[in-house]
Structure 1
């Protein structure tokens, strides 16, 4: 059993789960596994994956996990925490098939339930792949020490975002332990709630792309950013205030990000495109709205390594608070090629009895666009992103 703990999942899945339950309890969705790297999966992989998914039904939140979430996640109400205590994964929501080396995984069900599958399912796929291909991790602790010390020398605030594409839970565990021992005040925490509990650090995370994607599909792409942000504020009242900007491109986001929201949200997260251009664009936006950039944060999180962090930090040069959420480079830098994969929301509806609408994501680079190609083109036309 690869996933052994209920909270071996990322915080943002729980935070969006609460928002869904509060505002859209009848919403019904489909997710799809996207194998961007075109990896060939070994024979029998789907059967092993089905066994792992079936075992998820046995996971239950422990008293220790509940106490940790109650203590650290002050923005979760007691009703929601009690709900998590009673939650059980339903394997019938996940359909897995394999033809040759091609793996297909689909998730369907009420959004408030199915939202938890993405991260642990990807972690299982990654770890199982390396198990079945006989890969052996190398220099895990040594590399983690080097990274922690280098980031500390740069005075770079950093967090672990590496659950989804990690080599294994054991590697992830060693990495967080090493960061806790060597990162000092610059190691800010991890997106993984269980490991945050185990090492008494901060669970990190806010909202995912799917939050914006749902609002775009249901309310229209021009209204998506404002609707998504206002809905988030309705639920969290200013807590969990780092917003993604690139679901429908950051240019469109900043056209919609109004003064109230800009003042209320603590900052934004860069997740695609050119980080240096993004830095200037974000600082300019805050200055134009008479907001001190030093009172805000940019969390940089796309494909980072030490050189990239150094380049960005030098360019930022103290003009805004910069922080770094690093994923695969932390948890799967062990001598293998990590899987290039995602699980994305692809269709949504406000009620199970209604028709599905496509959900798409544009990003700040076309290579990360996801969703139905025709709907992507329609979204671009609606937003004026094509001639």
Structure 2
């Protein structure tokens, strides 16, 4: 059994789950697995994966986990925490098939429930693949300690974001332990709620792309960023205040980011495109709106390593507070090629009884990396004046 703990999941999945329950409890959606790296999965992989998914039906929030969530996740109301205590995964929401080496995974159901599947499913796919191909991790703790020391020497605030594409739970567990022990004040926490509890650190995360994708599909692409951020504020009232910028391109985001939102949100997160250009755009935006950039935070989370972090820090040069969410570089730097895999929202309905799904898409600051239905991508690009 790969997923052994209910909170072996990223914080942002629970935070968006609460927002969905409060605002869109009837919404019905589909997600789909995308194998960006073209990995060929071994024979029998789908059957093994179905067994792993079936075992998740037995997961429950323990009293220890509940106490931790109530203490650390102060932005979750007691009704939601009690709901999590009674939540049960439904394996029938996940359809897994395999043709040759090609793996297909579809998730379908009420959005407030299916939102929790993405991260553990990706973690299962990655760990199971390395199990079945006989891969053995090398120098896990040694590498993590060196990275922790290097990042401390750079005075870089950072968090561990590696659940989705980790080599294994055991590797991520050892990495988080090593980072905490060897980074001092610079290690700020982990996205993984269970590991945050185990190592008595802070669970880190705010909002995902799917939150904006849903609003774009339902309300239109010109309104998507505004509607998504206002809805987030309605739920969290200023908590979890790092806004994700690139669902419909960063330029589109800053064009719609209002003065009120800019003052309310603590900062913004970069997840695609040039981090140096992003930093300059963000600083310029704050300056033009008469906001002191040093009062805000930029979170960088796209394919980071020690070298790229050093480049970003040197470029920013103290003009704004910078922090880093580091994923695969921590949790799957063990001598194998990590899988390049994602699960994305693809179809949405306001209500299950609606006759047709609406397509959900994600653009990118990198040309050619847009995700979703091609016709809908074209529509979103034209609507936003990006063609």
Q: How does 1:172-191 map to 2 (within 5 A)?
A: 172-191=172-191
- Superposed displacement of residue 73, structure 1: 0.3
* Alignment match, 1:48: 48
- Superposed displacement of residue 353, structure 1: 1.2
* Alignment match, 1:327: 327
Residue 65 in 1 paired to residue 53 in 2?
no
Runs in 1 of length 4+ with deviation above 3 angstroms?
Answer: none
Distance 1:168 1:341 in 2: 15
Give the SS at the match of 2:254.
helix
Give the SS at the match of 1:138.
coil
- Superposed displacement of residue 129, structure 1: 0.1
Give the SS at the match of 1:312.
helix
Give the SS at the match of 1:268.
strand
- Superposed displacement of residue 367, structure 1: 3.5
Q: How does 1:1-387 map to 2 (within 5 A)?
A: 1-354=1-354, 355-386=356-387
Q: What does the per-residue CA deviation read over 1:22-81, in whole Å, with 9 as the maximum and x for residues that have no partner?
A: 000000000000000000000000000000000000000000000000000000000000
- Superposed displacement of residue 121, structure 1: 0.4
Instruction: Give the length in aligned residue pairs.
Output: 386
Give the SS at the match of 1:51.
helix
- TM-score w.r.t. the length of structure 2 is 0.99
Distance 1:234 1:220 in 2: 20
Distance 1:369 1:15 in 2: 25
Q: Which runs of 5+ in 1 are unaligned?
A: none
Distance 1:164 1:269 in 2: 18
Give the SS at the match of 1:109.
strand
Give the SS at the match of 1:376.
helix
Give the SS at the match of 2:152.
helix
- Superposed displacement of residue 343, structure 1: 0.1
- TM-score w.r.t. the length of structure 1 is 0.99
Give the SS at the match of 1:15.
helix
Distance 2:123 2:167 in 1: 8
